[in-house]
Structure 1
């Protein structure tokens, strides 16, 4: 009998209908503009040239087909630098903002080079577009296709991960720098990195206004198809293309997927006071949502809103997603302020938005992970209702409820149980599984985990906005002293709280996401909005890996447990009904006394008994029963092991009040509970026991 062999991914380059396409005899340039009356191609010899070496007019008779201007220029090669210029109506009252003098970035540019250049003629000169040769030896690289339910996501900033001198890498702050630190990522155990924006954005304000701060986070897109030039180690135009591919290939070789944070909700051109860099000067009324045909709608909070449900813009987004998947081998996307994709061309939220459905159903993206930040800056909040089962969501409710419970807020016990069990209140009614919930407690936007337990109030003065920026609703506490302290009692509670929240995150149903540095207690010194802090406030401090090695070990063991245990990553919601073949429910809730739980407003302690999956869902029998004892009060308490656990041998796995190495037992060989079955659980702490053997 012939055995079927696995079919390898067939690598092919995704060809786009627009942009600059390198050919044997030259380069084909294609750009969309419906309302332009003339179009010009500006060619440059060097990255720092203020003026083009050649200007070539598109002949409207020979070089225009419909609304597409397309021209072949012979003799050009890889690395050619260029801009567009477009003439057309200046009629802001009807949405037109053509400027014949403006130097325009190709919306489909695959790379940019250089910086914004100052001039005395009032013309903004943005970075130049680069003609790219897409040739790259992938050495058989293929998408890893980890199951979503088995993912552990690590949100990180490419530059900040290795920019600090403490990183001790050759290519600091770059794609190649990430490669040097892959052994660290692999040892931590995460399955995917979620990279904060890596498509092109202005490094600083292109107009040089008084609040000209670094654009560190990168949520201000300038060219959606191009890897950010600021993260390249090489100085040659286009180096970022090859280096980004090297990084993806190396991460895949380590078993780590790459998810991109993409910003299809606005651009860096701002409102009517912003610069004309690309979209405004080519077809403003199509690329942006306008009110009364002239005013920029600002659902993004950044001055403008991309018109994502216009067919032309929709086409661009699809080409862009496919470009990153097939030309760069990325494994998924997190869509920033994704609710904007649910708005029609007038800005109204619509049911079953076509853009959201089309992304989910696109056959070329069928194996790609898609994650929504299911809200926007204009009040839309769609957590639990964004798209179909293909869409996962950043679960903001999870973040708030877990923070509130561990801070000791009354009325949060039921919410914690719901989040721990996978947030069925948000997803089950729509037929969506637990892995649609991307659980997180911290993200790039807000306090780090360390700062969440060290500050009651934000400390954002370094941002230059009089501490007025950043969220004021942090659900944080300092436990007796604001910021760093030597008070032992305060430090003790903080240590417990960090472990409590990290344990909850990694033992909840759904998909966990942790922020780079939380595993070693990175601090931003109380800054909860470090978008402009390209400094040691934001950078990963590698000295903490050794200093807080006990915390790293704790998180490492949690991730290893999660990846091995189907008990905490079920494909179906917990029901409270008996598991097949057993007499005990898949989940049960108890008071510390072992009695049925009173979900009262002020209860802050509980026991959760989570049974291992059935043989149907766990054919290898790897799952273990778990007993989780939560004590968010300020008093030590005794907890009774559940009666239904009699006859099962238990070992302590986690004790967040314990001193390392007795805070976690990676080999699941911790002490057994007392013969009295009464377990002491100190204040502000969590204990987790796991069954010693297969319970079936």
Structure 2
């Protein structure tokens, strides 16, 4: 210690929450409605020895607070809460258990599993009704007081319009851990995101927005460590304010800020995948590490009339009680902290349906949504929900309030089924190409509300969608019982890797057709990191616990001629999307006439004839031509034509009677850049491929 610890704390203030350094000392404030006393515990610089235990001297409006003069950044601390241990009434106070400050901005390291972490005696016949008196401090990471100052210079949010947005979903560790061109101590950290090579890769692709999988400090689950595995994805939060310690290099918290600043300088936004639906403490048999020990009855949703047990709509043992005003305040404070202290541009909410639950179930007018949408900071950011959970009525795709986008798994499944050749898919495929208007065209929402993807972290990679018919999750140690069994995938002749030239060519064509569909559909396209060059997870569709080469992005594989070709192809797709507003997500299209004979959207068969109602219902039809048009902000009209053949054999397409001249911009069946003039009135489209035409050639292809 570099200061003398007093015998007692000064009263301090109930705001702001957490530990706040003011230049002369540190103010501590923590919520608990049901505690009788809360102690501040001070530790030595190594975090091993508790050197002082001082009660927070005052409580205002259920906020316990105190002030420690002369303390400053680097101070390690924890909390202990006194109160009733009465699980049947929802109370699980145990002052023998050190607790993480819910507002901690930095943790000293990882949690180390020990029996003492549990508030009850493991092995007792009374289970969680028993009481454990061992001190848990040696096993728990300590909160660290931080200094927030950082020179942001002229940093500005890119504020990419939703209609121009192309998302790249990445994992902080996985995206860089295999990069030999980085120093070993930087791989797998925020610092690697600031590397010019990574930023150049994003710019060459044309993506505008990086969506990072959870970066909050998270728990390494005991059952995974017992199998020799690790929590890789990070959906098990220890803290809602502190970054994951293993993602920090020697630059500490500023590594993340520098990464955001450099990405912003390149015009690239940063979105965080955040988890506010549950905590890492599990059900009633889980450890006491934070919220359970501070005020279990307030922080969690408990079963009415039997408060010993937790409502579990998340599948993770507990559900955070965001209906409670102080818990909701904590979530809002966390979001604003990331937005203001780290200049984050938006958030993707894991199990967003859970956050919208009130007493009667999911409500698009819930307090959570209302709080965000009225907030002057958060309401201006990009907001994305994962629109489901496992609770009753948990599937809420399309039902979120205006201002939110949603992950669209119907797009994912529909596109996979169409290109796999399933029967009766043409009408659904057209709906997905049209921004899923059947789901989102209400309450003045825009097509960008549909986040369109064929692969994400959760499920097969794109390469595996065309390489495996069945999931192969043996490495997870769950006897293949985890992960979705229906992936709407196909191996096209051989399960997994093959040297068969015909199979590889077919897989490549299907993969390229799916990528074109994602980029040219109305809505917001999302690309899974590594799909641009064929990353595989060896058939594992639930790689949450694979912190190894199954999940990591292999940059060596990205250097093969085939991988480079696919990467260049993805770049061309995104370039075309950026160059034609008709391919973007400005508004839903209804077939309105822009000039004689030209509508904003029209649908044809391969003969150039408009599709009739009966034709839409033809279950074996796998060919489609869609024409979209846009005034491009002036008098000139851009017209784009997509000829789509999901059948196995080549098919002759006749152009609709719209123009005498078309320019071929893309043939997904070939590699070379195309910009040739077409006057013949028809074209042959290869099986499992897309050809795209327009009435002009963009500068990017000239």
Please state if 1:69 is matched with 2:64: yes
Alignment root-mean-square deviation, CA: 1.9
Residue 192 of structure 1 corresponds to 209
Map Cα deviations across residues 504-529 of structure 1 (whole Å, 9 max, x no partner): 00001111011100001111111111
Residue 606 of structure 2 corresponds to 592
Which of the residues 655, 675, 679 maps onto 2:683?
679
Which of the residues 288, 296, 309 maps onto 1:276?
288
Question: What secondary structure is seen at the aligned counterpart in 2 of 1:552?
Answer: helix
Q: How far apart in 1 are the matches of 2:697 and 2:472? A: 49
Please state if 1:260 is matched with 2:272: yes
Q: How far apart in 2 are the matches of 1:267 and 1:118? A: 16
Change (3 A) 1:493 1:208: closer
Residue 469 of structure 1 corresponds to 482
Question: Residues 410-421 of structure 1 correspond to what in structure 2 (within 5 A)?
Answer: 410-421=423-434
Q: How far apart in 2 are the matches of 1:118 and 1:30? A: 28
Question: What secondary structure is seen at the aligned counterpart in 2 of 1:612?
Answer: strand
Question: What secondary structure is seen at the aligned counterpart in 2 of 1:654?
Answer: strand
Change (3 A) 1:16 1:525: farther
Residue 84 of structure 1 corresponds to 79
Q: Is the CA contact 1:586–1:613 (under 8 Å) kept in the aligned structure 2?
A: yes
> C-alpha displacement at 1:259, in angstroms?
0.4
Which of the residues 650, 663, 667 maps onto 1:655?
667
Residue 55 of structure 2 corresponds to 57
Which of the residues 248, 272, 276 maps onto 2:260?
248
Q: How far apart in 2 are the matches of 1:690 and 1:223? A: 50
Q: How far apart in 2 are the matches of 1:525 and 1:250? A: 34
Q: Is the CA contact 2:662–2:679 (under 8 Å) kept in the aligned structure 1?
A: no
- TM-score w.r.t. length of structure 2: 0.90
Which of the residues 629, 645, 648 maps onto 1:631?
645
4+ runs deviating over 6 angstroms: none
Map Cα deviations across residues 612-632 of structure 1 (whole Å, 9 max, x no partner): 3125xx2385x6311111111
Q: How far apart in 1 are the matches of 2:599 and 2:638? A: 14
Residue 107 of structure 1 corresponds to 102
Question: What secondary structure is seen at the aligned counterpart in 1 of 2:441?
Answer: helix
Residue 21 of structure 2 corresponds to 22
Residue 532 of structure 1 corresponds to 545
Which of the residues 245, 249, 258 maps onto 1:233?
249
Residue 691 of structure 1 corresponds to 695
Map Cα deviations across residues 54-76 of structure 1 (whole Å, 9 max, x no partner): 221223xxx22231111111121
Change (3 A) 1:601 1:306: farther
Q: How far apart in 1 are the matches of 2:239 and 2:517? A: 39
Which of the residues 55, 77, 94 maps onto 2:89?
94
Please state if 1:341 is matched with 2:355: yes
Q: How far apart in 1 are the matches of 2:326 and 2:147? A: 26
> C-alpha displacement at 1:686, in angstroms?
1.4
> C-alpha displacement at 1:315, in angstroms?
0.8
Question: What secondary structure is seen at the aligned counterpart in 1 of 2:678?
Answer: coil
Q: How far apart in 2 are the matches of 1:193 and 1:85? A: 39
Name which of structure 1's ranges 488-497 and 123-132 shifts more when overlaid on structure 2: 123-132
Which of the residues 555, 568, 572 maps onto 2:583?
568
Runs of 5+ unmatched residues, structure 1: 1-14
> C-alpha displacement at 1:544, in angstroms?
2.5
Residue 541 of structure 1 corresponds to 554
Residue 43 of structure 2 corresponds to 44
- TM-score w.r.t. length of structure 1: 0.91
Q: Is the CA contact 1:167–1:541 (under 8 Å) kept in the aligned structure 2?
A: no
Question: What secondary structure is seen at the aligned counterpart in 2 of 1:356?
Answer: helix
> C-alpha displacement at 1:467, in angstroms?
1.3
> C-alpha displacement at 1:246, in angstroms?
0.8
Runs of 5+ unmatched residues, structure 2: 1-13, 117-133
Map Cα deviations across residues 318-361 of structure 1 (whole Å, 9 max, x no partner): 111111111110000001100011212x4733452221122122
Q: How far apart in 2 are the matches of 1:114 and 1:47? A: 11
Question: What secondary structure is seen at the aligned counterpart in 2 of 1:56?
Answer: strand
Q: How far apart in 1 are the matches of 2:413 and 2:390? A: 18
> C-alpha displacement at 1:590, in angstroms?
1.2
Q: How far apart in 1 are the matches of 2:292 and 2:209? A: 36
Q: How far apart in 2 are the matches of 1:38 and 1:211? A: 40
Q: How far apart in 1 are the matches of 2:112 and 2:43? A: 14
Residue 631 of structure 2 corresponds to 614
Residue 143 of structure 1 corresponds to 157
Q: How far apart in 2 are the matches of 1:690 and 1:24? A: 62
Q: Report the number of matched residues.
A: 655
Q: How far apart in 1 are the matches of 2:360 and 2:83? A: 26
Map Cα deviations across residues 518-545 of structure 1 (whole Å, 9 max, x no partner): 0011111111111011101111111132
Question: What secondary structure is seen at the aligned counterpart in 1 of 2:271?
Answer: strand
Q: How far apart in 2 are the matches of 1:477 and 1:119? A: 45
Q: How far apart in 2 are the matches of 1:556 and 1:327? A: 33
Q: How far apart in 2 are the matches of 1:207 and 1:497? A: 39
Name which of structure 1's ranges 512-521 and 350-359 shifts more when overlaid on structure 2: 350-359
Please state if 1:214 is matched with 2:230: yes
> C-alpha displacement at 1:178, in angstroms?
1.3
Q: Is the CA contact 1:360–1:366 (under 8 Å) kept in the aligned structure 2?
A: yes
> C-alpha displacement at 1:600, in angstroms?
2.5
> C-alpha displacement at 1:212, in angstroms?
6.0
Q: How far apart in 2 are the matches of 1:347 and 1:260? A: 29
Question: Residues 500-539 of structure 1 correspond to what in structure 2 (within 5 A)?
Answer: 500-539=513-552
> C-alpha displacement at 1:120, in angstroms?
7.6
Question: What secondary structure is seen at the aligned counterpart in 2 of 1:381?
Answer: coil
Q: How far apart in 2 are the matches of 1:358 and 1:36? A: 27
Q: Is the CA contact 1:422–1:434 (under 8 Å) kept in the aligned structure 2?
A: yes
Q: Is the CA contact 2:598–2:629 (under 8 Å) kept in the aligned structure 1?
A: no
Change (3 A) 1:604 1:168: farther
> C-alpha displacement at 1:501, in angstroms?
0.4
Change (3 A) 1:469 1:118: closer
Change (3 A) 1:87 1:683: same
Q: Is the CA contact 2:424–2:619 (under 8 Å) kept in the aligned structure 1?
A: yes
Q: Is the CA contact 2:113–2:222 (under 8 Å) kept in the aligned structure 1?
A: no
Residue 386 of structure 2 corresponds to 373
Change (3 A) 1:295 1:469: same
Name which of structure 1's ranges 191-200 and 208-217 shifts more when overlaid on structure 2: 208-217
